[in-house]
Structure 1
Amino acid sequence: MTRAQFFLTAIGAAAAAHELQSPARTLLGTFEGFVNGGLNLRVKAGDGTPAVVETGAATEVKRVAPGDRSLQHAQTIGLDELKPGDRLLISYAPSSVLARRIVVMPAAAIADRNEALRREWNEHGLSGVVVSKKPGEIVLRQRSLLSESQAAVVLSPATKFRQYRAGSNTYAESQPSSFEQIRAGDQLRARGAKPPDGRRIEADEVVFGTFVIKAGAVLSMDGSSNTLTVRDLDTDRPLPVRLTPASQVKRFPEFPTAPAGMAGAASTPGLPPSPPGPGGPPDLAQMIERLPGFSVQEIKPGDTVVFSASPGKAPGELLAVLVLTNASRLVQMAQARSSRQTQQLPGAIGLGGMNGAGVLDLSGFLP
């Protein structure tokens, strides 16, 4: 399913099926501003390419709320009510260069919806890396600043499954899936009823995806192709990853001193406060999730980054989900923890650490 198809389903599948039966063209993108005296729109398409949308007196502009599956409750608005960042679905009549209809999902409403979803999943959910699964249960590995543990996701016939689309870890863009599609090593979040210790959850809903998490020094940043090339810490070879409009870039805060033995890491200056999880220390993924955004233009050769990515459509292509810059101390912490605990835990350990093959394993700590 393409992003345009997903957007159609989310905001107007019923109306689209009735009114867009002809092979009309559509464009899904983000509104950036007006051109030509406010008659045309400057839009960034889903693949990042710029576009100019021409409008006319007959162009309809409809505003919908995030999650609406029908245009029944859409509001008719004027073009002058568009704001930068609004998501647009533009449809054209056959053989016309003028937009016939523009469906608008306001950026502010999207942000509010996403924040509500984030709170819901943080307060009533748990996350981790899939260790194993069997009918009725999935076992996750969870990581915090100080320890590693396991949690059980209890399934029922009513549990719903969703899967992140390529290049995204956003629930709103996930797609219906099934238990059979879950694999060991997948990143998974579950929402439902859980006891105070937080080590077991009766899942109403599960969302999962396959992500690659890598670390290394930046070799180059090609703005024309939005490609970041990193010298992979595992292989010592160049590894390209493509940034998309959905990619997040954040900066790990400075540490004034190395936190000895990780003591006091929960209150490290620069990290947004994250309350301890039930029965354990703060969750690093949630702390990173709260970090403010960082401009990709500020990434320089030599910077140490850690990134999560999902496979693209092309063979070997990686689409960045989250890029964490200034990450050298985080990598050092993972390596130090590995050296202390190699004799205690088999395989991948701690915040990251070295797995049995001598490869730095950072799975499970990025949101």
Structure 2
Amino acid sequence: MPFGDGPVPKQILLVVAIVLSLSARSAFVSHAAEKLAGQQSSAQAPAAARPVGTIKSISGNTIVLTTDAGADVIIQVQDPAKLVRIAPGQKDLKDVTPIQLADLQPGDRILVRGKLADDGKSVAAASVIAIKKADIAEKQSRERKEWQRHGFGGLVSNVDAAGNTINASLPSPDERKTVAIHFSKDTILRRYASDSVKFDDAKPAPLDQIKPGDQLRARGTRSADGAEFTADEIVSGTFRNIAGPISALDASAGTIAVQDLVLKKSCATCLPPWHNASPRV
């Protein structure tokens, strides 16, 4: 029965209040139950895992993967797992090649998606994305040639972040003494690892890590007069220069001992595997 514009009877208001209260409690209980169920499901479900690294060995359907952090992880690859191959540097999965477990070899790089076992030491793989060792070697060979044709190196004189320019002095007396290296937001900036002089170990790094005195290598296009350089990629690092006579050489261990003329003592130095890296300055 419509009430028009008159006051609503108290009995009706009470009924409405009770209904609203029950509805609110029901919604709250439902939400709490869903949340609790979600927490229980999450607690019971195996943890997701995405280890990435280099294949150490393969036996049957078991892969021993050495992760980039240095730990070994056991990967169990069952029949439902999807295995694909991508090219080095590929940024998406639009163009992949399906492969079999037998196509994988030690030295190949893989990214595994799966579930971590209760022991935390093995992963049941749902998918494996692989980059073949041979493809990586071919890409590195192309990059070395590209750096040799379109790269140069020098010592950082100063960094003008506002002007997107790094001034570098060249070591050769036959070349112009200073070159202005121009970079943009698309320029790749990398930094040599603190424990390695291998080009392939260089990691992405922000501009503020480049300091005067750093050794720098740039790849890109140099102006006709040699005064300017537009960089596609810049790799920098801080290295200690040692000058002095060689006092010992161990070719099998890849080390040399140099009598440092500044510190007046012998310093052992590891020889880098240059055949696997682009030469630095």
TM-score scaled by length of structure 1: 0.49
- Flag the 1:207–1:366 CA change in 2: closer, same or farther, 3 A: closer
* 1:189 to 2:222 alignment: no
CA shift digits 1:124-163 (9 cap, x unpaired): 222112122333532223335x768623124265562512
The count of corresponding residues between Structure 1 and Structure 2 is 224
Match of 2:180 in 1: 153
CA shift digits 1:281-332 (9 cap, x unpaired): xxxxxxxx5xx46xxxxxxxxxxxxxxxxxxxxxxxxxxx99xxxxxxxxxx
One-letter amino acid of the structure 2 residue matched with residue 200 of structure 1: E
Task: Tell me how far 1:205 sits from its aligned partner.
Answer: 3.8
Match of 1:16 in 2: none
Residues 137 and 154 of structure 1 are in contact (CA less than 8 Å); yes or no, is this contact kept in structure 2?
A: yes
Match of 1:177 in 2: 206
Task: Tell me how far 1:90 sits from its aligned partner.
Answer: 2.6
Task: Tell me how far 1:79 sits from its aligned partner.
Answer: 0.9
Task: Tell me how far 1:193 sits from its aligned partner.
Answer: 2.3
Residues 63 and 74 of structure 1 are in contact (CA less than 8 Å); yes or no, is this contact kept in structure 2?
A: yes
Aligned to 1:118, the other structure's residue is in SS state: helix
Distance 1:232 1:139 in 2: 33
- Flag the 1:149–1:65 CA change in 2: closer, same or farther, 3 A: same
One-letter amino acid of the structure 1 residue matched with residue 177 of structure 2: Q
Which entry has the higher C-alpha Rg, 1 or 2?
2
Map residues 343-362 of structure 1 onto 2, 5 A cutoff.
Answer: none
Residues 153 and 190 of structure 1 are in contact (CA less than 8 Å); yes or no, is this contact kept in structure 2?
A: no
- Flag the 1:137–1:72 CA change in 2: closer, same or farther, 3 A: closer
Match of 2:108 in 1: 86
Aligned to 2:177, the other structure's residue is in SS state: strand
Match of 2:93 in 1: 71
Residues 219 and 230 of structure 1 are in contact (CA less than 8 Å); yes or no, is this contact kept in structure 2?
A: yes
Residues 155 and 202 of structure 1 are in contact (CA less than 8 Å); yes or no, is this contact kept in structure 2?
A: yes
Residues 58 and 105 of structure 2 are in contact (CA less than 8 Å); yes or no, is this contact kept in structure 1?
A: no
Match of 2:29 in 1: none
Aligned to 1:131, the other structure's residue is in SS state: strand
Distance 2:186 2:61 in 1: 48
- Picking from 249, 261, 265, the partner of 2:272 is 249
One-letter amino acid of the structure 2 residue matched with residue 139 of structure 1: N
Match of 1:109 in 2: 135
Q: Which runs of 5+ in 1 are unaligned?
A: 1-21, 251-288, 294-320, 323-364
CA shift digits 1:65-85 (9 cap, x unpaired): 111222232222111101232
- Flag the 1:366–1:126 CA change in 2: closer, same or farther, 3 A: closer
One-letter amino acid of the structure 1 residue matched with residue 57 of structure 2: G
Match of 2:156 in 1: 130
Distance 2:168 2:139 in 1: 27
- Flag the 1:156–1:130 CA change in 2: closer, same or farther, 3 A: closer
Match of 2:51 in 1: 27
Match of 2:239 in 1: 211
* 1:45 to 2:67 alignment: yes
Distance 2:76 2:265 in 1: 46
Aligned to 1:249, the other structure's residue is in SS state: coil
Residues 41 and 54 of structure 1 are in contact (CA less than 8 Å); yes or no, is this contact kept in structure 2?
A: yes
TM-score scaled by length of structure 2: 0.61
Distance 1:59 1:188 in 2: 44
Task: Tell me how far 1:86 sits from its aligned partner.
Answer: 0.9
Distance 1:132 1:39 in 2: 54
- Flag the 1:231–1:127 CA change in 2: closer, same or farther, 3 A: closer
CA shift digits 1:203-229 (9 cap, x unpaired): 344332333445776799xx9xxxx89
Match of 1:164 in 2: 191
Task: Tell me how far 1:183 sits from its aligned partner.
Answer: 0.6
Distance 2:209 2:77 in 1: 43
* 1:59 to 2:87 alignment: no
Aligned to 2:111, the other structure's residue is in SS state: strand
Task: Tell me how far 1:186 sits from its aligned partner.
Answer: 1.6
Match of 2:169 in 1: 141
Distance 1:102 1:110 in 2: 17
Q: Which runs of 5+ in 2 are unaligned?
A: 1-45
